[in-house]
Structure 1
Amino acid sequence: MKYIFFSAILLTLSFGDIFSMNSYEADFRQVVTNDKGNILEYSGHIKVMKPQYALWEYLQPSTKLIYINKNMATIVEPDLEQVIVKKLHNSIDFFKILKNAKKIDKNTYIAEFQSVQYTIKMIDSDLKSIEYKDQLDNTILINFSEQTVNKKMSTKEFKPCIPTEYDLIRG
């Protein structure tokens, strides 16, 4: 669950227009490989807007919505009919990560933030993937497709809709 939070905070934008980009939307495929080689795959859709709003809509293998609003995360799990609300203690500034990334070759950038190294792949001005190792030594690879940059978004899109019959867990 921790790598899902971290990924949810992380994701945003491409290098080409980093200073003018205000929003990013894409489909994603996330592959988590543990130190024994076991693989978990997730897929879905992401929306991100400056300054620190994100909505990760996980569609496979099960539905889960993760809303990030600055330093708060709300996880809506329809299959479990529950909502988890957590304060994020280490807020991650992905714009800062991108801004400080160093170009390694034509399509590869390396960035370091909070002792984690990120490998960022670009093709033309499109963000193709981000890869990193989490604190549990899992390798996280997130691939992006069907991207839209600077689409007009509202903060309302990042406000969770919590069904009244769901259990609410505050963590």
Structure 2
Amino acid sequence: MMRSLLHSCWMAGLFALASLGVAAPGAALAQDPAATGRAPELLRAFLAETVTFEASFSQVLLEADSAHAQVSTGRFYLHRPQRFRWDYREPVTHLVVADGEHLWLYDPDLEQVTVRRLDDGLSSTPAMLLSGDGSLDDTFRIGAAYQEDGFDWVELAPLADSADFAGVRVGFVAERLAAMELVDALGQTTVIRFDDVTVNGPVDPALFQFVPPPGADVLSDQGP
């Protein structure tokens, strides 16, 4: 269940898929694997040079074999390594915080908090792609890179056989991170768009701290 929650919390998109003007990741996999582009270089530069990242986001989750799309918007904050915050604001509030040691998921409507340790088991998940401090090549296979609809795209596939998602692609516009897309093992497509981006600006450290509110149920899958 934790991985499914992570998948729903790591991406965002500005419009429904029909109006995005970009192909879903599954379509991108049909591209020539020998295609070349700048996106791998841009992704490596992002991981090497970015300390903080802040942006508005919009996320679209398109269910498999369905025209139904779930659209969410909010604010994303990143402080590498292993600190991030997805602040979902519409249509419902929801909070995901990684504080460097733990991952917290808070649902105010249910008054429920889910927590687990950040460990190697999460290193190859899309949620940790931007914030992790490991090598990109240790966890992902870099696939096709190409330009499409104004984006520089690179496709990534997990090296771990146990990964429960099929592929990721990351998009840049004007050398800046602008989009991420995911197809998971259930055939669901998640599309994110970042807007109003600030790179390496000041970010309040308190954003990456979380204390369960009084009265909230706290669920943990941490082992002994």
Q: TM-score, length-normalised on structure 2? A: 0.65
Q: Work out the CA distance in 2 between the residues paired with 1:41 and 1:114.
A: 29
The answer to whether 1:69 aligns with 2:104 is no
Q: Work out the CA distance in 1 between the residues paired with 2:129 and 2:159.
A: 11
Contact 2:11 2:191 in 1 (8 A): no
Equivalent position of 2:197 in the other structure? 147
Q: Work out the CA distance in 1 between the residues paired with 2:55 and 2:179.
A: 11
The answer to whether 1:91 aligns with 2:123 is yes
Contact 2:76 2:86 in 1 (8 A): yes
Q: Work out the CA distance in 1 between the residues paired with 2:70 and 2:11.
A: 19
> Which residues of 2 match residues 22-101 of structure 1 at below 5 A?
22-37=51-66, 38-70=68-100, 72-87=102-117, 89-92=121-124, 93-95=128-130, 96-97=135-136, 101=142
Higher gyration radius (CA): 2
Letter in 2 for 1:90: L
Letter in 2 for 1:163: P
SS in 1 for 2:56: strand
Where in structure 1 do 4 or more consecutive aligned residues deviate above 6 Å?
A: none
Contact 1:8 1:56 in 2 (8 A): yes
Structure with greater proportional strand content:
1
SS in 2 for 1:156: helix
Q: Deviations over 1:51-75 (max 9, x none)?
A: 1111000111110110123463211
Deviates more, 1:106-115 or 1:63-72: 106-115
Contact 2:76 2:84 in 1 (8 A): yes
Q: 1:31 to 1:159 in 2, by over 3 A?
A: same
Equivalent position of 1:133 in the other structure? 183
Equivalent position of 1:103 in the other structure? 145
In structure 2, runs of 5+ residues without a counterpart are: 13-41, 161-165
In structure 1, runs of 5+ residues without a counterpart are: none
SS in 2 for 1:80: coil
Matched pairs, number: 169
Deviates more, 1:144-153 or 1:15-24: 15-24
SS in 2 for 1:112: strand
| Superposed displacement of residue 17, structure 1 | 4.2
Letter in 2 for 1:59: R
| Superposed displacement of residue 16, structure 1 | 8.1
Q: 1:9 to 1:67 in 2, by over 3 A?
A: same
| Superposed displacement of residue 134, structure 1 | 1.1
Q: Work out the CA distance in 2 between the residues paired with 1:119 and 1:9.
A: 13
Q: 1:57 to 1:32 in 2, by over 3 A?
A: same
Q: Work out the CA distance in 1 between the residues paired with 2:217 and 2:11.
A: 27
Structure with greater proportional helix content:
2
Q: TM-score, length-normalised on structure 1? A: 0.82
Q: Work out the CA distance in 2 between the residues paired with 1:36 and 1:100.
A: 27
> Which residues of 2 match residues 4-19 of structure 1 at below 5 A?
4-6=5-7, 8=9, 15=43, 17-18=45-46, 19=48
Letter in 1 for 2:89: L
